[in-house]
């Protein structure tokens, strides 16, 4: 095997699944007894999910429902940027805005390449290419070991491994 094998480490979202989870959450809070007559809402606009209700506890309950729906649809909860996880009061309505995170930030990409360099098998190269990391090696077994290493790594992004060749 003289040719190099490689794969890409990316952080991408399935927008349709996120949209479905938000719609399911909106349907559930419209039907639940504890949300009757409290003007609770959840909506997806662009890259942010906004949750509104008349109390902070209800906003956190909406967040809990949303997280369960996202998890059931296979979307990583690391894709939500919760910030300080405290609903903000604007007027008479509490609101929480959660931006969606997609793509690897420079800090996360540097952490991944450093981990591969320090703990990975010898002969494996990792390069940052925009918002993804390309990992290459002559040995496919080494690439499998790197994937196993990265699955155990605690980073602030949902990692996927694509273009394995």
pLDDT tier at 63, thresholds 50, 70, 90: very high
pLDDT on residue 6: 86
pLDDT tier at 22, thresholds 50, 70, 90: very high
pLDDT on residue 90: 75
* Cβ-Cβ contacts under 8 Å for 49 (sequence gap 6 or more): 18, 22, 42, 43, 66, 80, 97, 98, 100
pLDDT on residue 139: 85
Look at the pTM and tell me if it is higher than 0.85.
no
Task: Map out the domains of the chain with their CATH numbers.
Answer: 5-12+103-162 (3.30.70.860), 15-99 (3.30.70.990)
Q: For the residues 58-65, what does the mean pLDDT come to?
A: 92
pLDDT tier at 51, thresholds 50, 70, 90: very high
């Amino acid at each position: 095997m003289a040719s190099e094998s490689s794969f890409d480490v990316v952080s991408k979202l399935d927008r349709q699944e996120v949209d479905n989870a938000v719609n399911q959450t909106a349907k559930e809070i419209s039907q639940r007894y504890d949300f009757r007559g409290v003007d609770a809402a959840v909506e997806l606009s662009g890259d942010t999910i906004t949750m509104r209700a008349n109390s902070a506890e209800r906003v956190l309950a909406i967040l809990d429902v949303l997280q369960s729906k996202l998890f059931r649809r296979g979307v990583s909860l690391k894709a939500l940027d919760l910030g300080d996880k405290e609903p903000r009061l604007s007027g008479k309505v509490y609101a929480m805005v959660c931006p969606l995170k997609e793509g690897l930030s420079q800090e996360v990409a540097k952490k991944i390449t450093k981990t591969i360099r320090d703990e990975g098998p010898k002969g494996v190269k990792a390069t940052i290419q925009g918002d993804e990391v390309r990992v290459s090696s002559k040995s496919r077994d080494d690439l499998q070991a790197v994937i196993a290493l990265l699955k155990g790594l605690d980073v602030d992004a949902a990692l996927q491994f694509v273009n394995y060749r």
